[in-house]
Chain A
Amino acid sequence: MRVRWGSFWLAMAAFAAMGFLIAPLVMVVAISFTSSQLLRFPPEGFSLRWYYALIDNPQFIEAAWTSFQLAVACSIVATLIGTTAAIAIYRYRFFGRNAIYLLLLSPLMLPQLILAIALLIYLSRAGLPGSFLSLLIGHVLVTLPFVVRLVLVGLERIDPNIERAAAVAGATRFEVFFRVTIWLIFPGMFAGAAFAFIMSFDNIVVSLFFTTSRMVTLPVEIYEYLEYADDPLITAVSSVVILLIVAMLLVIEKTVGFTKSFTAVEHG
């Protein structure tokens, strides 16, 4: 029972804002089905020629494969170290707890660009400039806070009496953790892993500093393609990425709530 006021104009303004947000994505997807050579809206005719061209383009396919492997690896590493850290922060009171918590969340607050150049300086001194490993380190760095926050939110929502009930029923601390707790924080872990995957797959800021001529991620490949060419091929590859990410987000929304999770991360 909301107060109804200026409803009409408010709704108009809201729809305009929504249109503004979605317009570029709609544009990209629409143009990917054009039959012409031109990056122009409205698309001329309807064809899948640019999707066929995409399949025949080894650069994009290879970059996509690299990005996928990277995102999977990043998601696994970030979820492992992020979940363990979140559990420790939630369960124990120890010296430096607040400082460590702040450190864990700091990559969320600092510009990715700064994280990237700092890491570049350090890794090139350590003899590890552009490589899969350096990309992985960079991506884990920027996705870790998401996992930590989401698992923590999950932990905070657990009714402590559930674990007490298990303990009273005779379970040892280990059994309580592996038979009860882990299942309760699973949604948070899953959301964290999924977010880490998407953010790694999508990342350009960090990747730009660690890609080499032989090791290019998909966003960087698109970015560089934009520099010298403008044919609808790029909209086809972008549309595939959009489709993949929207599909993943829908899965997250259906299972653990993407919008809820994301709001929780940004306002911790």
Chain B
Amino acid sequence: MKKKTILVLTVMILSSLFLFAQGGSEERLTEDGRQIVTYWYYHKGNEATIQENAIARFNASQDEYFVEGFSVPDKQKYLVAMASDESPDVIALTNAEVISYQTNGLLEDMSTMGEANGFDFSIYDKPAVTANSVDGRMYAYPLTSVVIQMFYNKDLLASIGETEPPTTMEELFEMAEKATTLDADGNIDILGYPLFPLASARQELIYAFGGRWAAEDGVTPTANCEGNIKSLEMNMAFREKYGVEKVQRFVATGNTNRYTPQDIFFAGKQLFRFDGPWFANNIKQYNPDINFGVAMVPGTEADPELLGVSRYENTSLAIPVVAKEKDGAYAFISWFVTEGAKDFLLEIGSLPANNTLYDDPDLLASNEAFPSFMEALKTGNGIEAPRMDYSAEYISMVDEYLDYIYNGTMGIEDALNELQAQAEAMAD
């Protein structure tokens, strides 16, 4: 091949690679000169439309920035984009992801940015701050909250001679035993104890007994603490009474049919259900005839102040460290979690993270479960997920060991001690 041909080809390839590499670095402006800020959210379908509505409201209020929203349900793309110099300026993610991302140093320090811009941090209660903080610094501003409370079937409750929902786990257990019925084959027909959804078995059922997977500092594992053992003893007492496999079969069916017309609660086969505020809308959609009530998750006789205890989670907004338009990103986020929050929450039907909205009459009227859920938020009994740098692996291990316990493969204390030892080894 002639040297000249080789030279031309080489120059062409190198030029195209150079241009490709340079592609992401240019400043982007709208025709009217506004700085373009890119915002990636994981919502899709109707929720993506609601995100776009919020973005439109922000853009209408602005002459400096213009936000372009993108629905990116696959969050791996967040990481790939951040690694390839094509990072969005704002990302929506869960508070657990905030911790996971920041333990790898991927996010901007929002405490510092907020202090520099005079942000009023008092709009957030302690759980909201802690859930989005690493080493005492916030790396995202939470927009929505998720807490779980107790739905109950009033007719089933009446059938066992009760009129009021339980306020302690001991009362709940007693009612659950009375309400649980079996069919002719000995299979569970109505489930009294709230063993389903599965996530509650790791969280609310544990927290209600004062159990925790991490200490107050969020990073010290406490897998074998007394509260965890007490809770699991009660859970296992129920499972063993009706047969571990029978309970598991019922739970499996509940899980496969969750939020469908065959959901065990909608079918009138579940007395107590720990679920989110959206569940009230699901009931109306699938079986409006279900006579249900909402109450706070019970505490225990020993710790009645645990009433309303629940996991505390957020959808939060963060700025990747590799974002290019950080000022615009901050302007959008600080608007979204304050002025822009209420309209968004009304549309999407979520609870606020911003405590100034807890008593908002429009929000309270928007969902019949909200008053109980807002009361739960006010108790401050929200429990944030563990925040150690190996928390994703730790939670996965917790779930695995809960399986060993619930399936009867391991005893409660043996399993929790082994889990604790493994967590401590990971910490080292």
- Are A and B co-members of a single complex? no
Q: Which A residues lie at the B interface, using CB under 8 A? A: none
